[in-house]
Amino acid sequence: MRISELSKHSGVSTASIKFYLREGLLPAGKQTAPNQADYNDQHVRRLRLIRALIDVGGLSVSVARATLATIDHESASAHDTFGAVMHGLDDIEPDDATTDVARTYDEVREWISARDWHVDPAAPAPFRLAELVATLRRFDFPIDLNYFDDVADAAEATAWGEVNYARTRPDRASAVEAMAIGTVVIGQAVNEIRRIALEAISFRIQNAGDDSRPVTP
């Protein structure tokens, strides 16, 4: 298909397609003339992945490019590739931490170990969690890591489903795509569910009468 047909099939504007080509997110089509190229269903699939990562997941172009490069790296094992995708979703320097974040990071690593979770020491997510917990404490939230035990249990259960689903995909590329989309989009969905729950509980307490104590479900 020509680029105009690719735009029609994918729902992505021609201008955006040309931008993704220039940025190296979308592989070039088969050259048929100096200013013409043909595209196929793989390009449609790739465009849907790009839009999911950037538009839905909120990734920057540079992070999306790195994530896609990981997906395209054929020699890495499935686990190493999954890990690279997870690590590529953050751009942080764990060594650049304030004292309270560094102290909380040690707590996070102990909490992870107590759960018998094996996580790469270079993984950015534990450091990001430490930043978030330290920020909550600065605002006097009475939080320790055990506060997140129920959340972690639920996350572990859904992670089993996500990883097993990805591993049943027919080829490596689609398996890693599934992990990337699951990580970004399901993560967003969980956050939206929490926001809905916050509003619902606020309404329930607001309408429970003059007594503003928490209402037992």
Digit-coded pLDDT (tens) for 161-217: 988 998 898 887 788 788 888 888 888 888 999 999 999 999 998 888 655 555 554
Q: Is the pLDDT of residue 95 over 90?
A: no
Residue by residue, DSSP assigns the chain as: --HHHHHHHHT--HHHHHHHHHTTSS---EEEETTEEE--HHHHHHHHHHHIIIIIT---HHHHHHHHHHHH--SS-HHHHHHHHHHHT----TTS--HHHHHHHHHHHHHHHHTT----TT-HHHHHHHHHHHHHHHTT----GGGGHHHHHHHHHHHHHHHHHHHTSSSHHHHHHHHHHIIIIIHHHHHHHHHHHHHHHHHHHHTS-S--SPPP-
pTM flag (> 0.75) = no
